[in-house]
């Protein structure tokens, strides 16, 4: 009976949200700034599949009320989004509706088990343009200002006007694509995955919190590197393969630094093995179990 109910709810949700889901997937594929959503959606599905066995032994006393409340909330958000022509609201509403439907069938216990997949699914929805624009502009100006200071400190002649950096060899524009917002969101997603893998709240908060300043700093390092290369080898270094490569290198370096920071939080660098001890210390054993 439960499977029939779930199948019916799934069919109804797909029928209502078919156009919304098609638009969401299309944006993930066609917009680089939103491509991180593909990774997070895959992580949400993989996490839910990994926890599927925990959904089987349902506690008969688990209340369906929280699920019903989420279902109603999701439906209300969907109506507001439709009336206001707000794509973001209609997209996040599907997450609440699905979570509410599952919670209504399996009770609060199912919601606890599926809390992580629901969080990843919400993060996978691209932010509205209003929010993106409000964040991107300050990031552009900040990166431009810091780059000017660093270049001047390194002995390079540079004049900044807004997000334009005028060098003897060329003029660089810190455009929206170079603001670092894309790498910030992507690194935040990586941090969220690492936080989900951990079980200590302060480490979870720490690893997620450090992603924002780390992404901003690494993006500034990238812009400085491009500017220096333009001065040394010409304006062509600001476009083409090198420009793309610096973006990837900066992001990979950010992920490596984030991973090292996470290992530091775990205490890996403080692992020691006593000279006469045949077994690793508790700290080392904890790292090996990761």
How many Cα atoms are found within 13 Å in the side-chain-facing hemisphere of 132?
15
Q: Residue 210 has what pLDDT?
A: 94
Say what the pLDDT of residue 254 is.
93
Give the whole-angstrom CA distance, residue 234 versus residue 238: 8
Domain ranges of the chain: 2-126, 130-270
Say what the pLDDT of residue 119 is: 87
What is the reported pLDDT for 146? 93
The predicted pLDDT at position 224 comes to 92
Q: DSSP letter for 239, please.
A: S
Backbone torsions φ then ψ of 220, nearest 5 degrees = -65, -40
The Cα–Cα gap between 110 and 54 comes to: 8
Token reading at 277: 């001890």
pLDDT, residue 280, reads: 44
Alpha helices by DSSP H, listed for the chain, are 2-30, 36-50, 65-83, 87-106, 108-113, 115-124, 129-153, 181-197, 201-209, 211-233, 240-266, 282-288
Residue 115 has a pLDDT of: 86
pLDDT at 261: 92
- Say if pTM beats, i.e. exceeds, 0.75: no
Q: Which pLDDT score is estimated for 62?
A: 67
| Amino acid 270: pLDDT | 43
Report whether 62 contacts 27 (CB < 8 A): no
Torsion, CA 261, CA 265, CA 268, CA 271, rounded to 10? 140
Per-residue pLDDT 10s for the chain (290 aa) are 677 877 888 898 899 999 999 999 999 998 877 888 888 898 888 888 888 777 766 555 667 788 889 999 999 999 999 998 889 999 999 999 999 988 888 888 888 888 888 988 998 999 888 888 888 889 999 999 999 999 999 888 889 988 889 988 888 888 877 888 888 888 888 888 888 888 888 998 999 999 999 999 999 999 999 889 888 888 777 777 777 888 889 999 999 999 999 999 887 544 433 343 344 444 333 333 33
Query: From the CB of residue 220, how many other CB atoms can be counted at a distance below 10 Å?
Result: 22
pLDDT at 271: 42
């Amino acid at each position: 009976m439960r499977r029939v109910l779930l199948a019916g709810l799934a069919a109804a949700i797909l029928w209502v949200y078919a156009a919304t889901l098609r638009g969401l997937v299309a944006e993930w594929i066609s917009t680089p700034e939103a491509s991180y959503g593909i990774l997070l959606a895959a992580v949400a599905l993989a996490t839910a599949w990994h926890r599927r066995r925990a959904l089987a032994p349902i506690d008969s006393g688990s209340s369906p009320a929280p699920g019903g409340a989420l279902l109603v909330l999701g439906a209300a958000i969907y109506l507001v989004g439709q009336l206001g022509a707000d794509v973001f609201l209609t997209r996040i509403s599907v997450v609440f509706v699905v979570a509410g439907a599952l919670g209504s069938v399996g009770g609060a216990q199912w919601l606890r088990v599926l809390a992580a997949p629901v969080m990843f699914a919400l993060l996978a929805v691209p932010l509205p343009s209003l929010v993106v624009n409000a964040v991107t502009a300050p990031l552009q100006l900040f990166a431009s200002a810091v780059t000017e200071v660093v270049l001047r400190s390194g002995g390079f002649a540079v004049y900044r006007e807004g997000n334009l950096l005028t060098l003897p060899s060329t003029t660089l524009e810190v455009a929206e694509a170079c603001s670092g917002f894309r790498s910030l969101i992507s690194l935040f997603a990586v941090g969220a995955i690492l936080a989900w893998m951990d079980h200590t709240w302060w480490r979870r908060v720490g690893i997620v919190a450090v992603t924002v300043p780390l992404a901003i700093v690494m993006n500034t390092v990238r812009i400085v590197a491009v500017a220096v290369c333009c001065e040394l080898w010409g304006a062509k270094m600001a476009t083409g393969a090198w420009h793309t490569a610096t973006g990837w290198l900066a992001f990979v370096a950010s992920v490596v630094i984030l991973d090292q920071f996470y290992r530091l939080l775990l205490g890996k660098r403080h692992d020691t093995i006593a000279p006469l001890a045949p077994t690793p210390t508790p700290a080392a054993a904890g790292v090996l179990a990761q």
